[in-house]
Structure 1
Amino acid sequence: MADLQTVLEKGLADPQAGWNMGSFGAIAEFHHVKDERPAVPNDMTQVTDRGGVQIARLNGVRPVAYETLSPRPHRWSQAVSLCLPATKAAMHRRDTLTELGSDDDALRPQDRGAILFDMGLAQLQVDFCIRTADPALLEILRAHSGQSLFAAGNPAMPAILQAHPHRVALTRIGRVEVYQMIGGPDTGGTSPEGPHTHVLPKLLRAGRTHSANAPIPDGWIPCAGFHPENPVIGRLGEEKALNQAAFDAFQALLSDWGVDDYCAAKNTVWAALKAGQLPQSISEPATRTGRAGLRNGLRQWRRLHGDSKLLDQWAARFDASTLSEDVEAENPGHEG
């Protein structure tokens, strides 16, 4: 069984790995940019000029490794969610803009005098905050504390979008900080490469803690996401040739921390293909997670072993279309 701390420490030193904390609709992401060499992690912390991530707690954390279907049938996504029981994961769920005082736990010393404000998004597992020392922005935020940022006519949100304060996602496991500009008109309508955030009111209204793509066990809440290097998708979402080492490394994590019905379905279809069996030899899994395992098993077999008439028969029976309830956007808030 893989040691969680060792895996995460290795991930913090890997420029191809990514991290996030947040909820379904409010998320802070930490990524390196091309040719950026990460510093040696210190106390489970990684910081660059663009942002940072800290894993402050592993006691009681359950890692859940999973792969998800992509709308593009030749690729898939993968992640390890760091989960706590619902009763241990809960944050403050403030529903109005709230001043929290100076951020004494900021990852960089120069940020520890700046003031934290909870944005009031009322999310279960994250206090989604902004941090600023800008006097003009502080004046506006303090004048409208206790109000919803989304209330009609509230000038606080436009001021935030214009001033680009740091964003800080706080969970019971740690924090992600983003120092770059907020994606929008000042960034050409796209999120900057590297650390960035998304706050999507439409998704927030769904009231979900995580995407339906993520097979999180009942009673557990994902408080952080670790994304080891994807073997078929580049850091900017581009196509790449299969990286066998990255594939094998994640399969080991999936074996240790994966969801049983997903792994069972994938292993079943791989064994059947290896034996040359026809698709009629198995039944479609009854669960969404099992169906995803079967379909990703077929996609991965094709990337590993190439095309064949037998594989085409399996795909025709079990993976003929990606337009189903089993496929959501790969990464809500991102293109493609």
Structure 2
Amino acid sequence: MVDPRDAIRDHLARALDDPASRWSLGGFGAVAEFDCAAGEPVTCLGRFGRLTPRGALILDPTDDLVMVAYETGFTGGWSHCVALCLPAAGALVSGVEVVNLRGADTGAARPQDRDALIFDLGLGMPQGWAGLRTRDPDLVARLSAACGVSAFASGSPVARLLAERRVDVVMGTPLGRIEVFGGPAAPAMGGPRAFVAPRMLRAGRTHAATAPIPPGLVPCALLHPPHPCRDAEGRPIPFDAGNHAAFQAVLSRWGDPRLVALKERLAAGEAMPRGAGRAARAVGRVVAAQVACQAESILEPDTGKMVPGSSRDVEKSIRDTTR
């Protein structure tokens, strides 16, 4: 029998080798993402680390790691991901809520960054921290002067440094780190990026309310496998049956068994149970979105081209699925 811990590690290693997969670390209101553009050079940092010219991802899958796969429906489509969770006792971290100096970043992915100073932004994320890293004497002086106050207080240099990409951004949780190297942005190529939304941070949440994370678990990283209807930049593509089947297999293995069974029944044409709760209705929205996406990309037998499906059939499927 395969050890569940080995199965998780093997899945993560395969996903790291897939350039179409994306990763994110952080919390509700502050997150860093890692992916790479087609043809971009990627260096392996052991089994669970990857380095590109624009950023790095280093994972540390612990023995108590729990994988939670789920889908989220929304107007016009759905998203899917695998949350890498830890029990709350080992996931929640404490720290000061003001800018503070962490010291030299000895855990940096690149050797040349390990003597650079990293300043913790003191964002108060329940499961992690975010920092700015630099060796520039002027920027070190400016960040040192901001220590002891809120990162986004009046006069703080943090917001401007984030916007100008003059420093490296490092996002860490108990499951690893993502580094976004400073320098010119390349929006057309995707790649590592970081976002901080102070208003969302004030909610103190570990994750969005729409994410069905079981009680007692805290998501510390997210894996975003390739989507069947959107590319890495969120643009629509013809339905990719391979990507869809791949995630359904992941969902069957690491999703909520009750919701997976409900989805199978709804997809087979059953009506939504009476008195269905929020989670069940969310599954219905996902099924409706997937029915619509597949119907809009029907393969024409004679030409092999993707052609629009019947809007009448799509509307009927949505009504039947969500009623």
- Tell me the TM-score normalised to structure 1 length: 0.83
Aligned to 2:117: 115
Change (3 A) 1:156 1:21: closer
Aligned to 1:42: 46
Q: Is the 8 A contact 1:85 1:219 kept in 2?
A: yes
Aligned to 1:96: 98
2:229 corresponds to 1:232: yes
Q: Is the 8 A contact 1:51 1:177 kept in 2?
A: yes
Kindly report which structure 2 residues correspond to 1:118-133, keeping only aligned pairs within 5 A, or say none.
118-133=120-135
AA aligned to 2:222 is: G
1:195 to partner: Cα distance:
0.3
| Structure 1: distance between partners of 2:218 and 2:188 | 27
| Structure 1: distance between partners of 2:24 and 2:12 | 13
1:9 to partner: Cα distance:
0.7
1:142 to partner: Cα distance:
1.1
Task: Pick one of 196, 200, 225 that aligns with 2:197.
Answer: 200
| Structure 1: distance between partners of 2:241 and 2:200 | 35
| Structure 2: distance between partners of 1:285 and 1:7 | 37
Task: Pick one of 308, 313, 329 that aligns with 2:316.
Answer: 313
| Structure 1: distance between partners of 2:152 and 2:91 | 25
Aligned to 1:301: 291
AA aligned to 1:66 is: Y
| Structure 1: distance between partners of 2:70 and 2:275 | 17
1:37 to partner: Cα distance:
5.0
Q: Is the 8 A contact 2:31 2:171 kept in 1?
A: yes
1:283 to partner: Cα distance:
2.3
Aligned to 1:244: 241
Task: Pick one of 67, 73, 84 that aligns with 1:69.
Answer: 73
Change (3 A) 1:213 1:319: same
| Structure 1: distance between partners of 2:150 and 2:239 | 46
Change (3 A) 1:67 1:227: same
| Structure 1: distance between partners of 2:15 and 2:43 | 12
2:292 corresponds to 1:289: no
SS in structure 2 opposite 1:290?
Answer: helix
Post-superposition Cα deviations, 1:234-293, rounded to whole Å, max 9, x if no partner, equal: 011110111111111111110011123431221111222xxxx6x4xx425622221121
SS in structure 1 opposite 2:253?
Answer: helix
Aligned to 2:302: none
2:130 corresponds to 1:140: no
| Structure 2: distance between partners of 1:285 and 1:52 | 46
1:120 to partner: Cα distance:
0.6
Aligned to 1:14: 18
| Structure 2: distance between partners of 1:315 and 1:124 | 38
Post-superposition Cα deviations, 1:67-106, rounded to whole Å, max 9, x if no partner, equal: 111321xx32110000001110012332000101101110
| Structure 1: distance between partners of 2:276 and 2:96 | 39
Give the fraction of aligned pairs with identical amino acids, expressed as a percent: 35
AA aligned to 1:211 is: A
Q: Is the 8 A contact 2:266 2:284 kept in 1?
A: yes
1:229 to partner: Cα distance:
0.8
| Equivalent pairs, count | 306
Change (3 A) 1:134 1:300: same
| Structure 2: distance between partners of 1:203 and 1:36 | 33
Task: Pick one of 176, 182, 187 that aligns with 2:178.
Answer: 176
| Structure 1: distance between partners of 2:180 and 2:161 | 18
| Structure 2: distance between partners of 1:114 and 1:153 | 24
AA aligned to 1:286 is: A
| Structure 2: distance between partners of 1:157 and 1:39 | 31
SS in structure 2 opposite 1:80?
Answer: strand
AA aligned to 1:115 is: L
2:243 corresponds to 1:254: no
Stretch moving more, 302-311 or 115-124: 302-311
Structure 1 residues without counterparts, runs of 5 or longer:
321-336
AA aligned to 2:73 is: L
| Structure 2: distance between partners of 1:192 and 1:205 | 32
